Amino acid sequence: MYRYDEFDAHFVSARVDQFRDQVQRRLAGDLTEDQFKPLRLMNGVYLQLHAYMLRIAIPYGTLNARQMRRLAHVARTYDRGYGHFTTRQNIQFNWPRLKDIPDILSQLAEVEMHAIQTSGNCIRNVTADHFSGAAADEILDPRPYAEILRQWSSLHPEFSYLPRKFKIAVTGAPHDRAAVQVHDIGLQAVRDADGNVGFRVFVGGGLGRTPMVGRLVREFLPEADLLAYSEAILRVYNRYGRRDNKYKARIKILVHETGLEELKADIEAEFAEIRDGVLTLPASEIERITAYFAPPAFDVAVGDEAVLEAAIAADPQLEAFAARNVHPHRAPGYASLTISLKPIGKAPGDATAEQMEVVADLAERYGHDEIRVSHEQNLVLPHVRRRDIPAIHAALAEAGLAEANAGLVTDIIACPGLDYCALATARSIPVAQRISERFASPERQREIGDLKIKISGCINACGHHHVGHIGILGVEKKGEEYYQITLGGSADENTSVGEIIGRGFSYDEVVDAIEKVVDTYVGLRETPQEDFLAAYRRVGDQPFKEALYGTA
């Protein structure tokens, strides 16, 4: 894992001091709200419906047990005993007091965490595949590059006042688990025929009110050019991105309005000027950063499979868990585990302080001290021995964290929605809870198979509804909550934006409507292996329309 060097540590603690001073000046009346707001946003502090909200960065979703315990401590001491893990691999606290936030930030700085650039029109927390460094299908660990991008983008003087926020995601595997094509820049690590590392570069993906799939601008960007090329993209965006209208300010609109070819030419021209300059990454620097992410010393495991199999044979709960929440690891005898933060009927992504501590303990005891946050709002233990899975499962079950639903219909992404968010037009959490309860039966979930439902409480699309196989968007109609359903979205290597199926449904109707969609899919799929997307792409929306609205 990356460790702060002296420069990083100094930088973060100086930032805490600076913010402490800003809060004091605000409370003393030396700063108005208009002056203070941009400053608090630069430190992850929002004002939400009930209170302030603090968003803390978890770079590329990686943290260790000590950091997780500190988050638990913050939850317990300064908040209401829980936190909300988000689709951007961050954590949000919903109830901090402004006067306590400098103390919270200084507690976090002690464990090398901060809230810098989790808000505002800057380059946000870089996200990555949650199985990085572990997945069997990985070409290379993308986290060193995410870290390099993080260092380059932190307080980058030229890019602190962009036209709008800017999000970068990186994956190192052919199967994209990081949704790179819905980011402003999406990077997919590849190797050329000679084994050199490079990136496929996508630009201009995004969700929000104008969802767009990123466009490929480079088939192979050599790793040494990663920063120079990123800088070229940001420069072009910074210069031409629209500042007159915040709904048209993201780079996706620039790509759309300028046209891909012209924009590509602009980027290449800018790149030509700065390439082979100071931003070129020396191999030694890549090596230095990569060393922080060296894989742990995996034991050569013997007999592990038999231990696990015997335990599975004796415990149907464990069998279900192993079938859904255990993922193939590159090292023999190892696996990555998904810890579902979607227990039936609970708020997606929420974890209590006690649960965070259980996860921290398990990571330390069985998981080489590593934890990940997934963009699907779950936690992951990336490196565990297969023989330890029964013990881990038992501990998780005791903490209410053993739901065997990873990737199933109840593994729902939902944004905070109107229960917390000041921008919301409808609630999303209780919709997720009711769907989860409707499909609670494990047999039924397994019969349905892989299915991604994603819910947002307004058009900003923090809940990724556009790229849900089934997406739900909450809107307000005549003072009532209304829910629009989209079908056919996907955020993997075949990214697509879902299409609205028809008129929306009331809060009371929406769960029945979702059930009809799911039942229709199960009824028409050719084999149980044909997943929702494949079936939808084969038959189109007609059968779903008929099921929802009749034949009219």
Partner 1 sequence: MKALTANRLIDGEVVWLGRSGTWVETLAGAWLLETPEAVAEAEAAGAEAEAARLIVEPYLIDLTREDGEIQPVRFREKIRAKGPTVRLDLGKQARREVSAA
Residues in touch with partner 1 (CB under 8 A): 26-29, 33, 47-52, 80, 95-99, 347, 418-420, 424, 427, 429-430, 433, 476, 479-481
Instruction: Check binding of 461 to ligand HEM (CB under 6 A).
Output: yes
Residue 496 DSSP label: B
95 binds, among partner 1, ligand SF4, ligand HEM, none (CB under 5 to 8 A by kind): partner 1
| Inter-CA distances, 308 with 333, 335, 393, Å | 10, 11, 11
Number of residues lying near ligand HEM (CB under 6 A) = 22
| Nearer CB in complex with partner 1: 325/355 | 355
CB nearer ligand SF4, residue 47 or residue 274: 47
Angle, nearest 10°, between helix axes 532-539 and 542-549? Answer: 100
Q: Which of 460, 507, 516, 522 binds ligand SF4 (CB under 6 A)?
A: 460
**In angstroms, how far is CA 482 from the centroid of its own chain?**
26
Residues with Cβ < 8 Å from 542, sequence gap 6 or more? Answer: none
Task: Check binding of 385 to ligand HEM (CB under 6 A).
Answer: no
Q: Which one among 461, 501, 510, 517 touches ligand SF4, defined by CB under 6 A?
A: 461
Q: How far is CA 240 from CA 108, 266, 362, in A?
A: 37, 10, 49
Tokens 């997406």: give the residue.
Answer: 471
Contact stretch for ligand HEM (CB under 6 A) within 81-89, 255-263, 532-540, 544-552: 81-89
How many Å apart are CA 101 and CA 7, to the nearest integer? 23
Contact 111, 3 (CB under 8 A): no
> Would you count residue 424 as binding ligand SF4 (CB under 6 A)?
yes
Instruction: Report yes or no: 110 and 70 within 8 Å, Cβ to Cβ.
Output: yes
Give 19 or 420: the residue with its C-beta nearer to partner 1: 420
Cβ closest to ligand SF4, residue 170 vs residue 461: 461
Contact between 501 and 487 (Cβ < 8 Å)? yes
Applying CB under 6 A, does 241 fall inside the site for ligand SF4?
no
Q: Which does 99 bind (CB under 5 to 8 A by kind): ligand SF4, partner 1, ligand HEM, none?
A: partner 1
For residue 334, give the DSSP letter. Answer: E
Q: Counting contacts by CB under 6 A, is residue 458 touching ligand SF4? A: yes
Choosing from 168, 227, 289, 421, the residue that interacts with ligand HEM (CB under 6 A) is: 421
Q: Which does 458 bind (CB under 5 to 8 A by kind): partner 1, ligand HEM, ligand SF4, none?
A: ligand SF4
463 near ligand SF4 (CB under 6 A):
yes
Q: What minimum distance in Å lies between the beta carbon of 471 and ligand HEM?
A: 13
Q: Name the token pair of 197.
A: 């590392």
Cα–Cα distances (Å) from 250 to 122, 184, 205, 232, 246, in that order, read: 11, 8, 9, 16, 8
> Which residues, listed in sequence order, are joined to residue 46 by a DSSP beta bridge?
53
CA neighbor of 292 nearest in space, from 383, 370, 209, 381: 370
Give the three-state DSSP class for 15: helix
Asked if 172 touches ligand HEM (CB under 6 A), the answer is no
Determine which residue in the list 43, 92, 188, 428 makes contact with ligand HEM, applying CB under 6 A: 92
- Residue 86 or 520 having the CB closest to ligand HEM: 86
* Tokens 């997934």, located at residue: 374
Stretch that binds ligand SF4, among 3-11, 386-394, 453-461, 504-512 (CB under 6 A): 453-461
- Comparing CB distances to partner 1, the nearer of 336 and 352 is 352
Q: For 29-86, where are the alpha helices, taking DSSP H only?
A: 33-41, 65-78
Q: Which residues are at the interface with ligand SF4 (CB under 6 A)?
A: 415-417, 421, 423-424, 456-458, 460-463
Residues forming contacts to ligand HEM in the complex (CB under 6 A) are: 46, 48, 53, 86-88, 92, 164-165, 167, 206-208, 250, 415-416, 421, 423, 460-462, 464
